[in-house]
Amino acid sequence: MSEVKIVPHGDASMLVEWGAVIDPKINQKITGLVSLFKDQKIEGVIDFIPAFSSLLINYDPRIITFQRLKKITEDLLTIEISNNQLKKRIFEIPVCYGGEYGPDIEFIAKNAQLTKEELIQIHSGTDYLIYMLGFLPGFSYLGGLDERIHTPRLNNPRKAIPAGSVGIGGSQTGIYPLESPGGWQLLGRTPIKTYDPEREEPILFEAGDYIRFVPVDQATYQEIEAAVAAGEYQVNVVEEG
């Protein structure tokens, strides 16, 4: 408990901080705390915003006070949650690497002194933990990118990156959920809509989930793209634990 700091954040939010270290164990504690809160169904708690090493809890002060919420949080933090108690959800995201979908793949491979095939194998060979969502709706900040393929950002960011683009920026990789400006190096694209305002749950996944990139060829990409447009495609989710 001593390493956790609980402070007010405005008049209707509470911030729970675990320091400034990015660590999967801290993320597990954040995910576990959110899970415990959801199980408790505490009246007055509105929503949760996880970050790399903190959790923002928004609440209605007309229903629950800061001191009451802090006490509940302190009590929940004493409960140990193991990996076995938390289900691990892995979202398998198809990606077509290179070509028009990944215009920077040659640079990324050259920078890493790898072939394109080796680059793709490394990039798609990891289950990436989603630490937090932000920047854009559904934009996931992923942990676990292999150091061999860390790549500097573009010197001049693009004005428009297509939705679904998969890129690398420094030590991170991720998916652009919407068309937007950006400076990451692009190595592929997915036809999956990670953010869709028409869905019941607009954002496909949440902090604490995992993403697994699955290489597909252009023909398969186009088939999935058509199925997504028709509302007939469902992302495969592997559950472990």
The reported pLDDT for the residue numbered 1 is: 44
**Identity of residue 93:** I
Q: Report the percent of the chain where pLDDT is more than 90.
A: 69
State whether 137 and 202 are in the same domain.
yes
Taking residues 26-34, what's their average pLDDT? 85
Domain range spanning residue 54? 5-78
For residue 224, give the CATH number of its domain. 2.40.100.10
Is 80 exceeded by the pLDDT of residue 47? yes
The reported pLDDT for the residue numbered 20 is: 78
| pLDDT tens per residue across span 150-186 | 999 999 999 999 999 999 999 999 999 999 999 999 9
For residue 40, give the CATH number of its domain. 3.30.1360.40
Which of 96-110, 120-134, 202-216 is predicted most confidently?
96-110
State whether 228 and 133 are in the same domain.
yes
- Are 56 and 49 a contacting pair, CB within 8 Å? yes
The reported pLDDT for the residue numbered 126 is: 94
Higher-confidence position of 136 and 183: 183
- Is residue 39 in a domain? yes
Looking at the structure of the chain, the number of domains it has is: 2
State whether 214 and 143 are in the same domain.
yes
Of 30, 117, 16, the C-alpha closest to 69 is 16
Length of the chain counted residue by residue: 241
| pLDDT tens per residue across span 216-230 | 999 999 999 999 999
Taking residues 43-49, what's their average pLDDT? 92
Is 80 exceeded by the pLDDT of residue 87? no
Higher-confidence position of 7 and 87: 7
State whether 107 and 180 are in the same domain.
yes
